[in-house]
Structure 1
Amino acid sequence: MERFTQGFYGYAVAMLVCLAGVGVFLLVTPQSRTEHLPKVDFSIDVANMRRDAPYQVWTPEPVPVGWIPTSSRMTKEKGAVTWKLGFATAKRPEAATRSHAMLAQSDEKPAAEFANRMANTSEVTGSIQINGVTWEQRLRKDKDQRSLVRLLPDATVVVTGTAQWEELSALAGSLKQQAKVAP
């Protein structure tokens, strides 16, 4: 019995017993194969934005099919009202995972600084027409981030993320302007 508890053979036997135990544990532990994405209801932030923002708010109506709203945050800082709404896009057949997209809007001044910060670049790489409206296209290759920017007289709207141009265009195309609500 002493032979198996000392030296290299004892160490090897102990390691095999431990690895066998871990293997059995992994085999009997249930594995979840489903996505676990947080889903948020952003309707409260929309209502607050319609009441508090000095500009007319843009919301996706309807949210693109298969997209999941994962975050919503409204802030009032330094006189600016900002709303950021994050999404996990629909699964694409060629991709194993979902991409991410965000709608950001604010009356922050200067507007160009807000747009540059949300897009992570100030370089305009082109423009695109979506529902008769021109959006600036911006690309940050090293972050795999694409952005659509719309500078309005009273606010800035940015649609950005790792989503493909078609997906970002679908989100931008779904945006509807909401009427301001009196406080």
Structure 2
Amino acid sequence: MVVRRFTEGFYGYAFAMAVCLAAVGLFLLITPQSRTERIPKVDYSLALADLRRTAPFQVWAPGQVAPGWVPNSSRRTNDGGWTTWRLGFATAERRHAMLAQSDEKPAAEFANRLANTSTATGTVQIGGVTWEQRVREDKDQRSLVRLLPDVTVVVTGTASWQELSTLAGSLRQQPKITS
């Protein structure tokens, strides 16, 4: 009679639910949980060296990464005869910033695609260089665009203008590697 009460009807359902919740609670209690943030870090030095050796344009890269910034992605593509390199960072404020550069033509199409807008909202001087500012409010995206004769450089992301300016200001022209 007692066994039957716990295997049928509402009591059976409630008992089964209590056993399941107790098992889940025990599992969560004994499972180790990390409370530390884990941002993957990539070493982009080999990709940069390869790009300096083979890219048909003058390569730009950060001279020194800002304190607290973590390089977390590096990707080079060769699509349609164009070379593109994207270097992503988690900033000290844990926002996203990315350096993208390509010899894609027309240059404006590359810049528009990376900035997610073709509308410039102004210009800013960073390290004596003029950058075009673009904003895509609905995506919380800010972009700095620089159109050079052989390459288009875009610094973009959800990072603040200050953080994007820090990245843009750290960019240095990289000498070509010949060998």
TM-score tier after normalising by the smaller chain length: over 0.9
1:79 deviates by: 2.3
CA contact (8 A) 1:85 1:103 kept: yes
Using the size of structure 2 for normalisation, the TM-score is 0.95
Alignment partner of 1:129 is 2:125: yes
Please tell me the root mean square deviation across aligned C-alpha atoms, in Å. Answer: 1.1
Judge which range, 11-20 or 152-161, deviates more: 11-20
Q: Which residue of 1 aligns with 2:99?
A: 103
Using the size of structure 1 for normalisation, the TM-score is 0.93
Structure 1: distance between partners of 2:89 and 2:54: 23
Q: Which residue of 2 aligns with 1:48?
A: 50
Q: What pairs up with 1:61-140 in 2 under 5 angstroms?
A: 61-91=63-93, 98-140=94-136
1:176 deviates by: 0.6
Amino acid in the other structure paired with 2:99: L
Q: Which blocks of at least 5 consecutive residues in structure 2 are unaligned?
A: none
Q: Any idea what SS the aligned residue of 1:86 has? A: strand
Q: Deviations 1:61-81 (Å, cap 9, x if unpaired)?
A: 101111111111112222222
Q: Which residue of 1 aligns with 2:145?
A: 149
Q: What pairs up with 1:32-43 in 2 under 5 angstroms?
A: 32-43=34-45
1:165 deviates by: 0.5
Tell me which of 25, 28, 33 is aligned to 2:27: 25
Q: Which blocks of at least 5 consecutive residues in structure 1 are unaligned?
A: 92-97
Structure 2: distance between partners of 1:27 and 1:75: 45
CA contact (8 A) 1:106 1:155 kept: yes
Count of residue pairs brought into register by the alignment: 177
Amino acid in the other structure paired with 1:79: G
Identical counterparts, % of pairs: 71
